[in-house]
C-alpha cells in the first residue's frame, strides 16, 4: 500500500510499510517515532525518507507526510502524538469534538496529568492532578475528555455564564451527560479547590432542558414557587410514540411547550403540531404553549398563567 506526498508538483508515491501507511492515513498524515520503530523501520531508512523530502519531523518524536494540510484535526493529532498516551483533547477543543453549542471549531487544547516535565507545544497544554477513567473517552478517533468533564473544565477556565450554560444544555440534549452526572462528578473534583464549582452549582439549578429557552422557563417556574416539572417526557398511546414534550407537570396533567423565535410556520408543520396536540389531549393532557417572547419578555404573565393553569381542576 502507498501513502501520498502532497506538494506543488502533485501527489508523489511514498513506498512504506503497509501498517504505517494505514496509520498515517488514519492520523491526518502523522506518525510517531514509536509507531515507526514498532514497524522495524531502521534509522537509516527513516533518514532516507526525511532526506528525500517524503517525511518531515514536525515535533519531538513526530513525523508528517510532506505536504499534508495543517487542519485543526492535524493539530489535534500532532499534539496527542507529541504529548504521549496520557494526554487528551480538552476544554474548548473537547467541546468542539463533542459538538457542544457555542464551541470554537478551530480550538486546539490539551490536558495532561501533572508531572515534573513541561511539554513544549505550540498550543495550550493544561495540567491536572486527576483524570479519572470516566473522564476518558474516544471521539472520532481522538483521546478526549468527556462532555461532563469538559463542562466542568469550561467553568474552571472562567468561561462566561452563557457559554457554560450552552455547554450544559447541549450536553444534556445530545445525551452526553445529565445534571445528575455533572453534579456527581463535580463533587469529586470540588475538594481540589477548582475555580468554577460554584458557577456549576448555580447553573445546575435550572438545567435539564435542551436549550437556553427551556432553561429560562425552568427559572420562571422556580421563581413562581411551583413544583419543578419533568423534562423531555416521551408520551405513548397503545405502544405508539405520540410526542416528546418539553415539560410535564405530572400531578396536574399539564404539558407545557416553549417555542423558539421562528416557531413552526409552514402548513405541514402546523398540521403536525395540531395532530400532536390533539393526541396529547386524547390521553388526558392539557397542553399549553409559551413563545420566546413570552418567556424572555413577559415573565410575569408566564408565572401568573402557570399558577392558574396548574391549580385549575377540570
Structural contact between residues 111 and 91, judged by C-beta atoms closer than 8 angstroms: yes
List the Cα angle 83/86/89 in 5-degree steps: 70
CATH number at residue 231: 3.40.960.10
For residue 250, what are the domain limits? 212-311
Structural domains counted in the chain: 3
- Looking at 204, 225, 256, the residue that finishes a domain is 204
Percentage of the chain lying above the pLDDT 70 cut: 89
- Looking at 67, 101, 122, the residue that finishes a domain is 67
Element (H, E) at 11: strand 10-15
Same domain, residue pair 86 and 198: yes
pTM of the model: 0.81
Closest CA to 172 of 215, 141, 202: 215
Structural contact between residues 232 and 241, judged by C-beta atoms closer than 8 angstroms: no
Same domain, residue pair 242 and 300: yes
- Looking at 154, 188, 204, the residue that finishes a domain is 204
How many whole angstroms separate alpha carbon 73 and alpha carbon 121? 15
* pLDDT (0 to 100) of residue 266: 66
Same domain, residue pair 15 and 133: no
Same domain, residue pair 88 and 195: yes
Residues 89-140: pLDDT tens digits?
999 999 999 999 999 999 999 999 887 566 677 788 998 888 999 999 999 9
Same domain, residue pair 142 and 163: yes
Res. 4 pLDDT band, cuts 50 70 90: very low
Same domain, residue pair 82 and 183: yes
300 has a pLDDT exceeding 90: yes
Same domain, residue pair 144 and 190: yes
Same domain, residue pair 234 and 286: yes
CATH number at residue 48: 1.10.10
Res. 270 pLDDT band, cuts 50 70 90: confident
* pLDDT (0 to 100) of residue 106: 96
Write the CB contacts of 25 (distance below 8 Å, at least 6 apart in sequence).
Answer: 3
Residues 169-225: pLDDT tens digits?
999 999 999 999 999 999 888 765 667 888 999 999 999 888 999 999 999 999 999
How many whole angstroms separate alpha carbon 30 and alpha carbon 64? 4
How far does the chain reach from its first CA to its final CA, in angstroms?
74
- Cβ atoms within 10 A of the Cβ of 285, count? 22
Q: Give the count of alpha carbons within 13 A of 151, CB side only.
A: 32
Residues 156-172: pLDDT tens digits?
999 999 999 999 999 99
Kindly report the average pLDDT of the chain as a whole number. 87
Same domain, residue pair 38 and 108: no
Mean pLDDT of 277-303: 93
How many whole angstroms separate alpha carbon 65 and alpha carbon 26? 12
Write the CB contacts of 60 (distance below 8 Å, at least 6 apart in sequence).
Answer: 82, 120
How many whole angstroms separate alpha carbon 282 and alpha carbon 300? 30
Percentage of the chain lying above the pLDDT 90 cut: 61
* pLDDT (0 to 100) of residue 14: 47
Give whichever of 13-17, 31-35, 141-145, 270-274 has the largest mean pLDDT. Answer: 141-145
Beta strands in 171-229 (DSSP E): none
Same domain, residue pair 306 and 243: yes
Q: Nine-digit cell at 268?
A: 405541514
* pLDDT (0 to 100) of residue 41: 86
Same domain, residue pair 248 and 277: yes
Res. 257 pLDDT band, cuts 50 70 90: very high
Amino acid at each position: 500500500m502507498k501513502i501520498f506526498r502532497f506538494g506543488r508538483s502533485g501527489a508523489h508515491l511514498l513506498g512504506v510499510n503497509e501498517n504505517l501507511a494505514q496509520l498515517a492515513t488514519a492520523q491526518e498524515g502523522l506518525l510517531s517515532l514509536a509507531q515507526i520503530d514498532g514497524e522495524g523501520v531502521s534509522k537509516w531508512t527513516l533518514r532516507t525518507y526525511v532526506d528525500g523530502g517524503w517525511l518531515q519531523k514536525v515535533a519531538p518524536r513526530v513525523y508528517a507526510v510532506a505536504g499534508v494540510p495543517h487542519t485543526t484535526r492535524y493539530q489535534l493529532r500532532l499534539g496527542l502524538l507529541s504529548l504521549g498516551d496520557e494526554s487528551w483533547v480538552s476544554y474548548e477543543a473537547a467541546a468542539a469534538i463533542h459538538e457542544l453549542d457555542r464551541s470554537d471549531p478551530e480550538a486546539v487544547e490539551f490536558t495532561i496529568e501533572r508531572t515534573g516535565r513541561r511539554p513544549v507545544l505550540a498550543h495550550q497544554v493544561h495540567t491536572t492532578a486527576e483524570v479519572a477513567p470516566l473522564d476518558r473517552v474516544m471521539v472520532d478517533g481522538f483521546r478526549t475528555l468527556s462532555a461532563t468533564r469538559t463542562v466542568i473544565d469550561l467553568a474552571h477556565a472562567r468561561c462566561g455564564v452563557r457559554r457554560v450554560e450552552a455547554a450544559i444544555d447541549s450536553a444534556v440534549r445530545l445525551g452526553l451527560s445529565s445534571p445528575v452526572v455533572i453534579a456527581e462528578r463535580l463533587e469529586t473534583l470540588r475538594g481540589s479547590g477548582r475555580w468554577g464549582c460554584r458557577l456549576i452549582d448555580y447553573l445546575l439549578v435550572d438545567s435539564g432542558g435542551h436549550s437556553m429557552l427551556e432553561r429560562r422557563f425552568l427559572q420562571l417556574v422556580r421563581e413562581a414557587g411551583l413544583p419543578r416539572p419533568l423534562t423531555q417526557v416521551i408520551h405513548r398511546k397503545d405502544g405508539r410514540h405520540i410526542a416528546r414534550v418539553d415539560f410535564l407537570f405530572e400531578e396536574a396533567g399539564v404539558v407545557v411547550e416553549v417555542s423558539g423565535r421562528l416557531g413552526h410556520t409552514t402548513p405541514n408543520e402546523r398540521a403536525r403540531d395540531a395532530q400532536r396536540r390533539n393526541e396529547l389531549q386524547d390521553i388526558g393532557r392539557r397542553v399549553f404553549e409559551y413563545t420566546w417572547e413570552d418567556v424572555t419578555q413577559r415573565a410575569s404573565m408566564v408565572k401568573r398563567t402557570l399558577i392558574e393553569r396548574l391549580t385549575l381542576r377540570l
